[in-house]
């Protein structure tokens, strides 16, 4: 014998949160940028658990969007050898080894993207760290101010000597520190210290 019982409806209650409660980094330009902002947010808050979760999300996002990543020639430097960013505060002790980085270059005529590898010396990177340590956290500085803190003039020393000074002592060290979430670097040359 089969018994049939009455099925009661289950009442579901949901809290509707305002977007300001759950959204951080509204100024992000892409999903990848938003995830990166979340990682930096949790690093500043010393919330390792959420930081690792978002790093995993970013890794999976990059895996599933690798075709798009290859088309985007403005991709940040990729660190091939050197410190990989575990234990952010250790950065201020300086680096014991040189870095190898890979960066995309777009041919102006063909539009083809090629990857070039550069070596960045620990001396140049450690010198840039000394400069960054002088900056106030959260404040934005212009490239001219950074050059002055390096003991140089932007136009006469840094920019004029692009191959020997700009790329080796300024640009590549800044891009590595950006990749390690120590600073935020804009294409216009603005630098903001994050930690």
pLDDT digits (tens, 9 = 90+) for 130-163: 999 899 989 999 988 988 999 998 888 888 888 7
Over residues 5-64, the pLDDT tens digits come to: 565 666 665 655 554 445 566 666 678 878 888 888 888 888 888 888 888 888 888 777
Domain enclosing residue 41, as ranges: 24-71
Q: Is position 185 within any domain?
A: no
Q: Is position 5 within any domain?
A: no
Residue 73: the pLDDT is 46
Residue 83: the pLDDT is 55
Q: Is position 181 within any domain?
A: no
Q: Is position 63 within any domain?
A: yes
> Strand 99-106 and strand 113-120: pairing?
antiparallel
Task: Say whether pLDDT at 124 is over 50.
Answer: yes
Query: What is the rounded average pLDDT of the residues 164-192?
Result: 85
d(CA 176, CA 29): 21
Q: Is position 30 within any domain?
A: yes
Over residues 70-119, the pLDDT tens digits come to: 444 445 666 656 555 554 445 556 777 888 888 777 777 777 777 888 88
Residues of the chain with pLDDT > 90, as a percent, come to 5
Q: Is position 12 within any domain?
A: no
Q: Is position 110 within any domain?
A: no
Q: Is position 85 within any domain?
A: no
Q: 3-state class of 191 per DSSP?
A: strand
Count structural domains, the chain: 1
- Among residues 180, 179, 176, 183, which one has the least CA distance to residue 88? 180
């Amino acid at each position: 014998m089969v018994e049939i019982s009455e099925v009661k409806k289950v009442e579901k209650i949901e809290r509707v949160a305002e977007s300001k409660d759950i959204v951080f980094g509204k100024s992000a330009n892409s999903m990848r940028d938003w995830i990166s902002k979340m990682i930096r947010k949790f690093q500043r808050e010393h919330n390792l658990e959420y930081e690792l979760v978002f790093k995993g999300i970013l890794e999976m996002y990059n895996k599933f969007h690798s075709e798009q990543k290859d088309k985007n020639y403005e991709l940040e430097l990729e660190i091939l050898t050197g410190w990989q960013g575990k234990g952010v505060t250790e950065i201020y002790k300086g680096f014991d080894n040189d870095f190898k980085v890979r960066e995309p270059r777009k041919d102006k005529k063909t539009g083809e993207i090629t990857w070039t590898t550069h070596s960045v010396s620990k001396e140049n990177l450690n010198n840039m760290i000394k400069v960054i340590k002088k900056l106030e956290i959260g404040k934005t500085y212009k490239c001219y101010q950074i050059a002055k803190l390096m003991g140089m003039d932007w136009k006469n020393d840094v920019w004029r000597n692009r191959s020997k000074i700009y790329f080796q002592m300024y640009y590549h060290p800044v891009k590595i520190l950006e990749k390690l979430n120590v600073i935020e670097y804009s294409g216009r040359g603005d630098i903001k210290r994050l930690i």
